[in-house]
């Protein structure tokens, strides 16, 4: 599906053995739409199932997978800025890493096993998407075809144990972090992941020698000694 569509991603629903796919392609057909599921309602439904059935992962899987089989396919023909954007009103914390494409499914298999064996309280889907490589020095997609894996925890719940258990898997498969989301990497870690790390820092130092554009986090991360 990734090979045969302009854009492809899927969402694995924990404790279901199932997920849903999302593809985007260019068309000259007229705008139109079938019924659309509200993803915020979907997240709340998954939370309700967790709250009621966390004592029995097996029963939770039976009920959720049975329900998912009743969901109809959605087709939306619309301008890209409308199709790509969506409202996410259920708040969460998120960690996302970008892995070499050939490592993605192996990493996802391990993540699923850790999640479903040890974190029965997790209900947010795992997002898995494909991204083409580029030539931007600090891009997570630098010089490699990539798959991105994102995990989430409801904002009122402590995410640290879950993220700490999953992050080593993402690093094991040579993942690079999403710059706008949670991770625990240091400058030394990043210098090993980005071939042009030192060159970028030299340019950054030349352009901003006084560090006016650095906050406390970036001062620790973007160093010439990494």
- CA angle 142/103/3 to nearest 5° reads 75
Q: Is residue 194 part of a domain?
A: yes
Q: Do 158 and 201 belong together in one domain? A: no
What is residue 224's predicted lDDT score, i.e. its pLDDT? 61
What is residue 226's predicted lDDT score, i.e. its pLDDT? 42
φ, ψ (nearest 5 deg) of residue 210:
-90, -5
Q: Parallel, antiparallel, or unpaired: how do β-strands 126-131 and 7-13 relate?
A: antiparallel
Q: What is the pTM of this model?
A: 0.89
Assigned token pair, 30: 């007229």
CA 151 – CA 96 distance, rounded (Å): 6
Instruction: Give the tens place of pLDDT for each residue, 45-68.
Output: 888 888 888 788 888 888 888 888
Q: Is residue 42 part of a domain?
A: yes
CA 223 – CA 226 distance, rounded (Å): 6
CATH of the domain at 106: 3.30.70.2520
Helix intervals (H) in 88-178: 104-118, 160-172
HSE, side-chain direction, 13 A CA sphere, residue 49: 26
CA 185 – CA 26 distance, rounded (Å): 38
Q: How many folded domains does the chain comprise? A: 2
Q: Do 98 and 198 belong together in one domain? A: no
Q: Do 137 and 213 belong together in one domain? A: no
User: What one-character-per-residue DSSP string does 188-213 give?
Assistant: HHHHHH-TTHHHHHHHHHHH-TT-TT
Q: Is residue 1 part of a domain?
A: no
| Residue 37 Cα distances to 32, 85, 93, 125, 131, angstroms | 15, 14, 22, 15, 25
What is residue 225's predicted lDDT score, i.e. its pLDDT? 55
| Structural domain boundaries, residue 214 | 187-221
Assigned token pair, 190: 């990043």
Q: Is residue 182 part of a domain?
A: no
Q: Which residues have C-beta within 8 Å of that of residue 56, sequence separation ≥ 6?
A: none
pLDDT in tens, the chain (226 residues): 999 999 999 999 998 888 889 999 999 999 988 876 666 677 888 888 888 887 888 888 888 888 888 888 889 999 989 888 878 888 999 999 999 999 999 999 999 999 999 999 999 999 999 999 999 999 999 999 999 999 999 999 999 999 999 999 999 999 999 999 999 999 999 999 999 999 999 999 999 999 999 999 999 898 765 4
What is residue 34's predicted lDDT score, i.e. its pLDDT? 81
Q: Do 162 and 214 belong together in one domain? A: no
CA 5 – CA 33 distance, rounded (Å): 19
Q: Do 119 and 204 belong together in one domain? A: no
Q: Do 78 and 124 belong together in one domain? A: yes
Q: Do 131 and 166 belong together in one domain? A: yes
Q: Is residue 65 part of a domain?
A: yes
Q: Do 89 and 140 belong together in one domain? A: yes
Q: Do 149 and 194 belong together in one domain? A: no
Q: Parallel, antiparallel, or unpaired: how do β-strands 18-24 and 176-177 relate?
A: unpaired
Q: Do 118 and 206 belong together in one domain? A: no
Q: Is residue 2 part of a domain?
A: no
């Amino acid at each position: 599906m990734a090979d045969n569509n302009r854009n492809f991603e899927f969402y694995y629903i924990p404790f279901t053995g199932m997920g849903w796919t999302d593809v985007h392609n260019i068309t000259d057909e007229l705008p139109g739409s079938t019924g659309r599921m509200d993803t915020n309602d979907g997240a709340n439904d998954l939370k309700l199932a967790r709250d009621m059935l966390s004592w029995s992962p097996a029963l939770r899987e039976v009920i959720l997978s049975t329900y998912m089989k009743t969901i109809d396919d959605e087709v939306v023909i619309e301008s890209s800025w409308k199709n790509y954007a969506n409202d996410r009103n259920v708040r969460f914390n998120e960690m996302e890493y970008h892995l070499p494409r050939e490592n993605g499914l192996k990493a996802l298999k391990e993540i699923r096993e850790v999640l479903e064996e040890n974190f029965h309280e997790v209900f947010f889907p795992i997002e898995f998407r494909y991204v083409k490589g580029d030539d931007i020095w600090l891009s997570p997609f630098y010089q490699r075809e990539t798959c991105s894996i994102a995990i989430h925890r409801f904002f009122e719940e402590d995410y640290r144990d879950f993220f700490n258990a999953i992050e080593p898997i993402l690093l094991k498969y040579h993942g690079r972090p999403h710059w706008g989301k949670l991770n625990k990497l240091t400058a030394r870690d990043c210098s090993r992941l980005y071939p042009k790390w030192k060159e970028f820092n030299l340019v950054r130092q030349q352009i901003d020698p006084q560090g006016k554009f650095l906050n406390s986090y970036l001062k620790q991360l973007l160093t010439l000694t990494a």
